[in-house]
Structure 1
Amino acid sequence: MSLKAFLAKQFASRMHHKTQKWAQNPIETQQKIFRELLHQAKDTQFGKDHHFDSIKTHEDFTANVPVRDYEALKPYVDKVVKGEGDILWKGKPLYFAKTSGTTSGAKYIPLTKESMPFHIEAARNAILGYIHETGNADFVNGKMIFLQGSPVLEEKNGIKLGRLSGIVAHFVPKYLQKNRMPSWETNCIEDWETKVNAIVEETFHENMTVISGIPSWVQMYFEKLKEKANKPVGDIFKKFNLFIYGGVNYEPYRAKFENLIGRKVDSIELFPASEGFFAYQDSQKEKGMLLLLNSGIFYEFIKAEEFFGQNPKRHTIGEVELGVNYVLIISTNAGLWAYNIGDTIQFTSVKPYRIIVSGRIKHYISAFGEHVIGKEVEAALQQAMEGTQVRINEFTVAPQINPTEGLPYHEWFIEFENEPEHLETFALAIDNAMRKQNVYYDDLIAGRVLQTVVVSKVAANGFQEYMKSIGKLGGQNKLPRLSNDREIADVLQKDNK
């Protein structure tokens, strides 16, 4: 065993015991976080507006601080973006993580000096937890690649902004710098296809042991490696045995990955977001990811089935049940308060608290990490129809992950009242509008992870027949504008043959 691997095991053991200390005292840990957050922010504008100085209990908090999404919190965020201090959190943020917006364009999520370290520590502790459980530390001697966004940052009113992964690149610990790939120069390449080609050339002859990234992006990297070498990735990188991922469900990709690699490798799932790093897989044997209760985040959970009702109950960590679908609500040391990030989770364990991401509270498509929402597809279709005679009766959108040929794509099922003269031109207009709506979707098209939109015509009354077939014709029932699976799409496709 190398000295580096030995030291990694010692460090992993220390971090494991530290993690166990709070994981075995979850309620007390969350109560402490709750008190600290309120105390730190009581003199901010948000704290004064919501009477933080008088809040003593969770019941007080729910009475004074309503659940908000980004749009509802935006009046406060706008002040922070303008450069004002002490609005949501004391002082000003270090960074803004710029993400795709919903109804107001780009979102600016604050990252503070208090919140930023937890993003780094969580990713580090996920790897250390793996070392402690498996005893496998030899990979620390090899090269590690993290496929991520460009670390080149913009600036807005004195505060730097960029993609979260690009910001995090500035905080890679010194002890990882020599092992980390790709090079800084390659990481700064904006064009994804050019970037992946450069990464292939840089890494091809290296001893790669850890590879990390969103599965759809990593798949593209693997395919280019296999094409270059004409052999599986596992034969190119003989000591590669750990894949770290987050952002999308890995299961649809697992079989494809094992084929590309030529063997099975261990994997670690992460649950990071611009709003916080919420969980990581802490066991290769147990289902779910360890919910990070000591990372400057106070969690609340609302049962998904009750979420859109009047005054749904906001549960704390000691009140949750296994297998229930909860909407995740967070209050953080970056200044997000009773904030709905839109994700739904389920608990797989309460000793310790482990979760899986079960979906989104609203309909969406994120088969490749694109996070496309209903408003975006509706706006894209409307823009494509402008200045034309095209009229539609109904539509829905679904991902096609495994096409019989070519790249995956978003398939739009449209029942036209008045058809376009050229369906392919109309599909391209939708695609161009979508790329303007959603930066992640644009990246996937530009990076050739996805091909452009495919439009499939639905026969007259096709959607009515579908709703009738599932017993939801008429009344308050609505056809989902988009789905993250092909349950509806497969029926429509079958009916149109």
Structure 2
Amino acid sequence: MKPALSKVYASIVAKKIKKWDSGAASMQKATFRRLLEGARNTAFGKDHGFSTIGNYEDFRRQVPVRDYEGLRPYIDRVVAGEADVLWKDKPLYLAKTSGTTSGIKYIPISHASMPHHIRAARNALLLYIYETGNSDFVDGKMIFLQGSPVLSEKNGMKVGRLSGIVAHHVPAYLQQNRMPSYEVNCMEDWEQKVDAIVEETLPENMTLISGIPPWVQMYFDRLSARSGGKKIKDIFPGFSLFVYGGVNFEPYRLKLEQSIGKKVDAIETYPASEGFIAFQDSQKDSGMLLNLDAGIFYEFIPAEEYFNEKPARLSLEEVSLDKNYVLVLNTNAGLWGYSIGDTVRFVSRNPYRLVVTGRIKHFISAFGEHVIAEEVEDALMTVASREQIGITEFTVAPQVQTSAGELPYHEWFIEFESIPADIEKFRLQVDEALQQKNVYYFDLIKGKILQPLRIRPLKKGTFIDYMKSQGRLGGQHKVPRLSNDREIAEKLMEYC
């Protein structure tokens, strides 16, 4: 019954979303007006003259772009329990995240914004069903590897990790299929939790598995070890759909597919505490569909202008294809001109589909090369895929302090599945691939300002040990691909 009903529902939702293709600009304008009206009488709205804003030009002039620290004076008032600061009333939740400069961050989730987190995840699955006709997975068990749903309370608001908050809003029709059990999901120690999930799921008919790729891989490794080395397809014959987000899938694809033992369909999502920004709507077309039903008015700053005194600030209809933009959000939870820190690139404008290319603060530009995450991931995985070399995890940092007469270089810390037989050849191939991706890097190599990259192979389990030492194992935590300093690199040296 469920598979048949889901196809009917999928058809209805798909027809509604198809209207986004031609109506994106008008939808964004309507969202813009609703947001301004909703926050007109808040402290922020009064401070920034929302009652006098008649168009987007006025908004850009009166509401500056801010990151968390810039908006923090208002957020601190919200956390202290004050109502009507950034949005009407108090937030329903405070999503707790960790930042590099801000320490613990509290992102408001309002009564108005919460439903969009659930609806977007549902729509991603329904569009998959509509396009492929595959709906059998809804009858099996589904697992969502996520943070603990245990919430604390602060001044009348529930506080927790986004994935834990969302766990309280899973639709009733999915509750019977959902795993792990609530008790196991509440476990805080990630390794103990994964082991407990393995024990609970081994005898079940798992058909959908969702989570951040490196932690799903950890789950697969322990499943295989527990079952005597079996492939995931033999443990879960009905497993047919992998839902992921948070990181680029490509560096993990080969190893995950080897662990599974067959190819399965995958759906990429782009959820954040600030809002559910995009989701993959097609198995045939690249990129994720920008979520226009999210209570978010989107803005975009060309990445190369972001640190300028007055960078260009564009609405959705002003963006171009194949250009890196820093994403700026205005939401019905009260984030205004909020720079989320991610960079995106549009691959389609009808409909608006994008890919996440990295973090604006995660780059290497020790010599003006401005190498970004998308470029290093693509360079490494192009060569690794061609050579059939498995990559578990990696990160890159500059090495400026070299011996006398030696040129500086980019140092790549790579945990291989098995070290390449000719690592020197592999190193030069990756360097060549990166030169082709980044013209500034090419010029620096050819101009003898930098020498070709160097690779430092790491022993198996290094990144898990490192993340554990930082208290960031599991959940929504990710290893930064790039650093413009040696902080992570020096810590990884301890595991060599």
When normalised by structure 1's length, the TM-score is 0.78
Aligned to 2:243: 244
Aligned to 1:443: 472
Say if 1:12 and 1:131, in contact at 8 Å, map to a contact too: yes
Say if 2:415 and 2:460, in contact at 8 Å, map to a contact too: no
Q: How does 1:301-340 map to 2 (within 5 A)?
A: 301-340=300-339
Aligned to 2:222: 224
**How much is the aligned-residue C-alpha RMSD, in angstroms?**
3.1
- CA deviation string 1:253-292 (max 9, x = no partner): 1000111000111100000111110000001010100001
Q: Secondary structure at the match of 2:44?
A: helix
CA shift, 1:308, in A, is 1.1
Which deviates further from its counterpart, 14-23 or 55-64? 14-23
Which deviates further from its counterpart, 312-321 or 46-55? 312-321
- CA deviation string 1:378-405 (max 9, x = no partner): xxxxxxxxxxxxxxxx999865342563
**Distance (whole Å) between structure 2 residues aligned to residue 354 and residue 256 of structure 1:** 27
**Distance (whole Å) between structure 2 residues aligned to residue 226 and residue 192 of structure 1:** 18
CA shift, 1:446, in A, is 11
Q: Which amino acid aligns with 1:400?
A: I
Residue 165 of structure 1 is aligned with which of 141, 163, 166? 163
Say if 1:364 and 1:482, in contact at 8 Å, map to a contact too: no
Q: Which amino acid aligns with 1:30?
A: Q
**Distance (whole Å) between structure 2 residues aligned to residue 335 and residue 313 of structure 1:** 23
Query: Which ranges of structure 2 fall in alignment gaps of 5 or more residues?
Result: 365-372, 378-390, 398-407, 417-456
**Distance (whole Å) between structure 2 residues aligned to residue 245 and residue 319 of structure 1:** 29
Say if 1:363 and 1:481, in contact at 8 Å, map to a contact too: no
Aligned to 2:484: 480
**Distance (whole Å) between structure 2 residues aligned to residue 401 and residue 89 of structure 1:** 45
C-alpha change, 1:399 and 1:39, in structure 2 (3 Å) is farther
Q: Secondary structure at the match of 1:302?
A: strand
- CA deviation string 1:223-281 (max 9, x = no partner): 01111222100111111010000001110110001110001111000001111100000
**Distance (whole Å) between structure 2 residues aligned to residue 235 and residue 95 of structure 1:** 41
Q: Secondary structure at the match of 1:83?
A: coil
Say if 1:33 and 1:296, in contact at 8 Å, map to a contact too: yes
Q: How does 1:14-163 map to 2 (within 5 A)?
A: 14-163=12-161
Q: Which amino acid aligns with 1:360?
A: R
Residue 406 of structure 1 is aligned with which of 445, 460, 464? 460
**Distance (whole Å) between structure 2 residues aligned to residue 57 and residue 242 of structure 1:** 43
**Distance (whole Å) between structure 2 residues aligned to residue 202 and residue 165 of structure 1:** 20
Q: How does 1:289-308 map to 2 (within 5 A)?
A: 289-308=288-307
Q: Secondary structure at the match of 1:73?
A: helix
Q: Which amino acid aligns with 1:139?
A: F
CA shift, 1:483, in A, is 10
Aligned to 1:473: none
C-alpha change, 1:163 and 1:342, in structure 2 (3 Å) is same
Q: How does 1:291-440 map to 2 (within 5 A)?
A: 291-363=290-362, 399-402=413-416, 403=457, 405-409=459-463
CA shift, 1:24, in A, is 2.4
C-alpha change, 1:271 and 1:447, in structure 2 (3 Å) is closer
Say if 1:23 and 1:293, in contact at 8 Å, map to a contact too: no
Aligned to 1:185: 183
C-alpha change, 1:274 and 1:395, in structure 2 (3 Å) is farther
**Distance (whole Å) between structure 2 residues aligned to residue 70 and residue 165 of structure 1:** 20
Aligned residues: 413
Aligned to 2:259: 260
C-alpha change, 1:448 and 1:83, in structure 2 (3 Å) is closer
Aligned to 1:285: 284
Say if 1:407 and 1:449, in contact at 8 Å, map to a contact too: no
CA shift, 1:480, in A, is 2.0
- CA deviation string 1:200-235 (max 9, x = no partner): 111001110000000011001000111122210011
When normalised by structure 2's length, the TM-score is 0.78
1:273 aligns with 2:237: no
- CA deviation string 1:36-95 (max 9, x = no partner): 000000000000000000101110000000000000000000000000000000100000
**Distance (whole Å) between structure 2 residues aligned to residue 60 and residue 215 of structure 1:** 42
CA shift, 1:196, in A, is 0.6
CA shift, 1:104, in A, is 3.0
| Identity in percent | 58
Aligned to 1:423: none
Q: Which amino acid aligns with 1:144?
A: M
**Distance (whole Å) between structure 2 residues aligned to residue 406 and residue 373 of structure 1:** 17
Say if 1:37 and 1:332, in contact at 8 Å, map to a contact too: yes
